[in-house]
Amino acid sequence: MTDPATVLHRSLPENVYLLLRRRILNNDFTAGQRLIEMNLAEELGVSRSTVREALRQLSVDGLVDISPRRHSVVTRMAYEEIRDACYARFVLEAGAARSIGERRTMLGQMEAVLDRMRAAAEDGDVASMVDLDTEFHGCIIDASGRHRLGSLWRMLDAQMGALMRSSIDRQHIDLGEAVRRHQLVIDVFGRGDIDQIVATLEEHYLGTVDDMAQAGGFGD
């Protein structure tokens, strides 16, 4: 899904970061697993400083906790962190939805992204699903024409990978269910009024998270 020309223009630390991110999101590195700088550097054929820089970014993303003893631990977001990030995204997206006039172009874009989501779900590719989730919801943001709102919304992008990986682990949902939930968003934009749309976005972001918390799905 990545343009090879884009990869060629990335820095080495960025490529290492993206590789490790993909492995964490696809559960090649599981929650609680230690990531040791020296071992990763040897495996990838890069310097420890390059690995260290990549791990720092993964820590910002909420995917690892860094130890001062030269290793990091793959982590998962807690309920409070997940709900806080989801609430912020919902509020911004609901505001964007209220600014959208003609929806036909946006819906076509969302349908195209959803087709790629289905393929990623069939492959069990969580990393691609995370990127496609951002692309999917970005269609709503972009259709609003609210550039300042879009900038604020995209500040949350970095944590979306950690959020989705944590939600999948804690809620025990499969990727096919994630596709179904995004189809519901398309459906309501196609036929609903703004109140129905906002209610669906709220359920999309917050409903299942709260249901799982009440059922003990976020217990350690």
Q: Which of 139, 86, 97 shows the shortest CA–CA distance to 117?
A: 139
Q: What pLDDT does residue 82 have? A: 82
Report the DSSP pairing between strands 34-36 and 71-74.
Answer: antiparallel
Question: What is the pLDDT at residue 1?
Answer: 47
Average pLDDT of the residues of the chain: 87
- Asked whether residue 68 carries a pLDDT value surpassing 90, the answer given is no
Local confidence band at 8 (pLDDT 50, 70, 90 cut-offs): very low
CB 97 within 8 A of CB 198: yes
Distances (CA, A) of 64 to 31, 154, 166: 9, 21, 12
Domains of the chain: 4-74 (1.10.10.10), 79-214 (1.20.120.530)
Query: Residue 100 CB: number of other CB atoms within 10 A?
Result: 18
Quote the pLDDT of residue 91.
96
Res 164: pLDDT: 80
CB neighbours of 33 closer than 8 A, spacing ≥ 6? 73, 74
Please state which of the ranges 27-41, 80-94, 110-124, 160-174 shows the lowest mean pLDDT.
160-174
pTM: 0.82
What pLDDT, on the 0 to 100 scale, is given for residue 211?
63
Stretch 148-164: mean pLDDT, rounded? 87
Handedness of CA 163, 164, 165, 168 (dihedral sign): positive
pLDDT band for position 70 (cuts 50, 70, 90): low
pLDDT of residue 135: 95
Q: Which residue has the higher pLDDT, 151 or 162?
A: 151
Each residue's pLDDT tens digit, 179-217:
999 999 999 999 989 999 999 999 998 886 666 556 555
Cβ(70)–Cβ(37) under 8 Å? yes
